[in-house]
Amino acid sequence: METTLRGVGVSHGVAIGEVRHMGTAVLEPPAKQIPAEEAEREQGRARQGVEAVAADLIARGNLAGGEAQHVLEAQAMMAQDPELMADVDRRIAVGSTAERAVYDAFAAYRALLAGAGEYLAGRVADLDDVRNRIVARLLGVPMPGVPDSDEPYVLIARDLAPADTALLDPTLVLGFVTEEGGPTSHSAILARALGVPAVVAMPGAGELVEGTVIAVDGSTGEVFVDPSGEKRAELAKAAEERKALLSAASGPGATSDGHKVPLLANVGGPADVPAAVEAGAEGVGLFRTEFLFLDDSTRAPSEEKQVEAYRKVLEAFPEGRVVVRVLDAGADKPLDFLTPADEPNPALGVRGLRTLLDHPDVLRTQLSALARAAEGLPVYLEVMAPMVADRIDAKAFADACREAGLQAKFGAMVEIPSAALRARSILQEVEFLSLGTNDLAQYTFAADRQVGAVSRLQDPWQPALLDLVAASAEAAKAEGKSCGVCGEAASDPLLACVLTGLGVTSLSMGAASIPYVRAALAKHTLAQCERAAAAARAADTAADARAAAQAVLSGE
């Protein structure tokens, strides 16, 4: 009998197929003692296991490319963390086996992160995956992972580690469903990059019986168990209509009555550029430069290395707009040479612009590299600071840009509610705003963006969040300046129409979402978008806001 389950849709499309479950987690190794004379050999085994896993993660990243490569390289660095390895050595020295020492050392570090307010929940999932891979290698057992199958299937898992998600074969894995995760988790971001329909944070996903046929709607978050022939036909028809719309829509982003809404791409480096160009991105709305710094957490990359990476991205968009976010370090992106090690709550501490203002040499080098990278190019370079709280922050950043001789527009990200509430004040110092809806939701609702249990508060349809977007857009309009959205909210076609109605002037998203958003905007007038935005803001819940906007745009 057909039943419907609901999670959070994080990657567009519909998948219908049989359930296959991810392999179970590695078993806890036995706690047995070894003689003192075997300690050195066990320490060697542990180091070999760690290096082998790090090499495997890097190799998977090289194969995957794009954003997945950056995520997996960060995981490899996690495996080789000197403090973790020192702890492993200490445990072996007092009698633990290599595998038990790794298991216990990672457990201790995991508890430390959880005790810091769980802001690093996404990193905890990655940490568990690294631990499991090392332990499996030391035990000599296969690492549980994507099931072997000659036939296409829908993958079910408690959560998916980046190393598994990055190499999913879209010809076999039709879509996936997880019990945990959220719209901004690594798995969700990589699913969108792959173009695989996905639903996360769905209770009871693990109870689906192997071989059961399910239909996954990655747009609505609905999962239909044993779908009827009628439901399959309905979903297939919707998929065909969506495909036709995508084919019909081309060119710059605009509403049906010609109101222009530039559609830009979020990129993490040069490897992400080809997909953005292929999708018809009109430029880059968020160039995340921190991935360049994560290559070595002990020191900043040289100015020459930065110039090379930045220029490759700038060259890909002649006459286009490229918005670069300066280094956003701290919280879930710690760097040894910058990030305080003893903050009780890193999410509310020294991160983003605060970090850079504490280390002006790092900011100065990055701004100088950007200035050099743009020399002689016809690109429209814009540079923005993360985690701007007030006018004092905005002025400090603008002053640093001028001192570095940067010929570009200077902007501020709106990720903290105070920045949205005082946007006109901030715009006295900078030339544009860019809304990071992921962090803005996190700070508005005190809801960790990586914790599935509070995912409803991370829903970008929350009316309170829409109010803050509206306040920012209205302030920018009053000052004659631009206000874009570069958070994952922009990748939802329906919400993209609402954001346009709220007054947002550009939308930036993962490349795979651009055709969907372009097609949705092309179906509606600006006035319809404005009415949908007003209806969404008048609602009391995220679900009601979405339903109200949908009703307006569908003419109900």
Which positions are catalytic?
186, 486
**Phi then psi for 310, rounded to 5 degrees?**
-65, -40
**Phi then psi for 201, rounded to 5 degrees?**
50, 45
Check: CB of residue 160 under 8 Å from CB of residue 178: yes
C-alpha torsion sign, points 340, 342, 348, 349 = negative
Greatest CA separation for the chain: 79
With CA atoms as reference, report the closest residue to 551 among 494, 466, 496: 494
Give the H or E element holding residue 216. Answer: strand 213-217
Alpha-helix runs per DSSP H in 503-541: 514-522, 526-537
Chain Cα centroid distance, residue 474:
27
* Cβ burial 390-424 (10 Å sphere, 16+ → b, else e): bbebbebbbebbeebebebbbbbbbbbbebbbbbb
């220029």: which residue's tokens?
311
With CA atoms as reference, report the closest residue to 330 among 249, 439, 253: 439
> DSSP class of residue 432?
E
N residues, the chain? 556
Check: CB of residue 201 under 8 Å from CB of residue 180: yes
Neighbouring C-beta atoms of residue 540, cutoff 10 Å: 8
Strands 3-6 and 222-225: antiparallel
**Phi then psi for 235, rounded to 5 degrees?**
-65, -40
Helix axes 514-522, 493-502, angle to 10 degrees: 60
Give the contacts of 83 (CB within 8 A, at least 6 positions apart).
none
The residues that bridge with 260 in the sheet, in sequence order, are 254
First to last CA, the chain: 30
Check: CB of residue 66 under 8 Å from CB of residue 167: no
Chain Cα centroid distance, residue 19:
26
- Tokens for 324? 């670069």
The residues that bridge with 288 in the sheet, in sequence order, are 325
- Tokens for 286? 């968020």
**Phi then psi for 231, rounded to 5 degrees?**
-65, -40
Strands 222-225 and 321-325: unpaired
């075997």: which residue's tokens?
38
């995508």: which residue's tokens?
246
> What Rg do the C-alpha atoms of the chain give, in angstroms?
24
